[in-house]
Amino acid sequence: MKISATVTLKKDVLDPQGKVVGQTLKNMGYENIINIRQGKYFEIELNESDEIKAKKIVEEICKKLLSNIVIEDYKINYK
């Protein structure tokens, strides 16, 4: 089973990279850009056919390793 997860900095944590990317896009003429947040994307391939079990595992690894829950939010994207 394939599941993906996105990890981004929490809203109230400064994301300097996203800010620079946003500013650069504005400089390039994209004036309608309001805000950019940069994050990480993980594609997780699991040897598990039970969807509920698979979701539980991904939830766990997001909490334990893929994100630092002090400053980051994770979002699991089921297909």
Partner 1 sequence: MKSSVIVFPGSNCDRDVAVALTKFQIENQMVWHNETQLPKSDLVVLPGGFSYGDYLRTGSIASKSRIINDVIRHGKKGGLILGICNGFQILIETGLLPGVLLRNKKLRFLSKNILLKVLNTNNKFCSNYKNKNIIQLPIAHNEGNFFANNELLKNLEDNNLIAFKYCDERGKIEKNSNPNGSSNNIAGILNPEKNILGMMPHPERFIDPLLSGEDGSILFKSLLRPE
Q: Which residues bind partner 1 (CB under 8 A)?
A: 13-14, 16-17, 20, 40, 65-66, 68, 70-71
Rounded Cα–Cα distance for residues 49 and 42 (Å): 19
Q: CB 51 → partner 1: shortest distance, Å?
A: 26
CB of 44 to partner 1, least distance (A): 14
In whole angstroms, how large is the CA radius of gyration of the chain?
16
Q: Which is nearer to partner 1, 52 or 65 (CB)?
A: 65
Of 17, 28, 1, nearest to 9 by C-alpha is 17
Place of tokens 């089973």: 1
> Of 13 and 50, which CB lies nearer to partner 1 in the complex structure?
13
CA–CA gap between residue 61 and residue 45 (Å, rounded): 13
Report the residue number, 18 or 59, with the smaller CB distance to partner 1.
18
